[in-house]
Structure 1
Amino acid sequence: MSDLMQSLAVSASGMRGQATRLRHVSENIANVDTPGYRRKITSFETELASGERAGLLRNGPVTLDQTEATRIFDPAHPMADESGYYDGSNVDLLVEVADAREAQRSYEANLKMFDQARQMTLSLLELMRK
């Protein structure tokens, strides 16, 4: 029974991780036109339990993408320098949509695993009850 509970915990931690990733992707998409905005990147780490990998996932530190921002020419913009350019965001909408789709699919896979483990636990409890 503890293996079934462990599988529930592993899939729940995966869903939490992907939900956080999807939140950061949504923030990136919302700020695609914000001048000076840097894309947020989420990393994942595995949790250790008594010195061994427990299979649980947690979000690592959020980092900012260091790729060059697009330079936009608009001399009337308040952030423009003396040459008339200012830094836009470094968010690529195509990459963000692909990341959102990947996070959604991973979340759905973890949800299916969670549901299967839950159904197996309920079936085991039914067998033990008889």
Structure 2
Amino acid sequence: MIDPLIASSKLSGAGLEAQSMRLRVVSENVANASSTGRTEGSDPYTRKTITFRSQLDRALGAASVSVKSIGEDSAPYPVQYDPGNPAADENGMVKMPNINVLTEMTDMREANRSYEANLQMIKQVRSMISATIDLLRT
């Protein structure tokens, strides 16, 4: 009875770790949403992306999740007229980060909800293990 509960807890822990990394990546993107280059014509901050992989955990006999990679978004940089910016080209145009803050906030909300669901699962497992131990004592 306890083994499946511990396995569930480990799977939820993998989910917590993956969503925690996703929240970190999204937070970096939001924090750098206005980070332009430092010199004329230089590229601004590039949006980071995260990719997950499903893998079989042979010890648990179940599919688990992990971070496959953290990459960069290949979307083009939008340009904005700002001749006073040090990154402005000869026409006063500045490359801006390829970040849509609304998309990032949506990703953050989804990652937060997934994190909370995995955390709730761990709490339930802990409660069930406690109840099982209490039953065994009597």
Same fold (TM over 0.5): yes
CA contact 1:46–1:54 (8 Å) conserved in 2: no
- How far apart are the structure 2 equivalents of 1:12 and 1:52? 13
Over the matched positions of the two proteins, sequence identity in percent amounts to 37
Provide Cα deviations, 1:32-55, integer angstroms capped at 9, x if missing partner: 000111111111112333499632
Structure 2 unmatched ranges of 5 or more: 37-43
1:124 lines up with 2:125 in the alignment: no
Q: In the TM superposition, what are the counterparts of 1:81-100 in structure 2 within 5 Å?
A: 81-100=89-108
Aligned to 2:56: 48
CA contact 1:47–1:53 (8 Å) conserved in 2: no
- How far apart are the structure 2 equivalents of 1:15 and 1:113? 10
**RMSD (Å) for aligned C-alpha atoms:** 1.8
Paired AA for residue 98 in structure 1: T
Q: In the TM superposition, what are the counterparts of 1:1-130 in structure 2 within 5 Å?
A: 1-35=2-36, 36-50=44-58, 54-130=62-138
Q: Structure 1 90/84 Cα, relative in aligned 2: closer, same or farther at 3 Å?
A: same
CA contact 2:7–2:60 (8 Å) conserved in 1: no
- How far apart are the structure 2 equivalents of 1:49 and 1:111? 20
1:60 is paired with a residue whose SS is strand
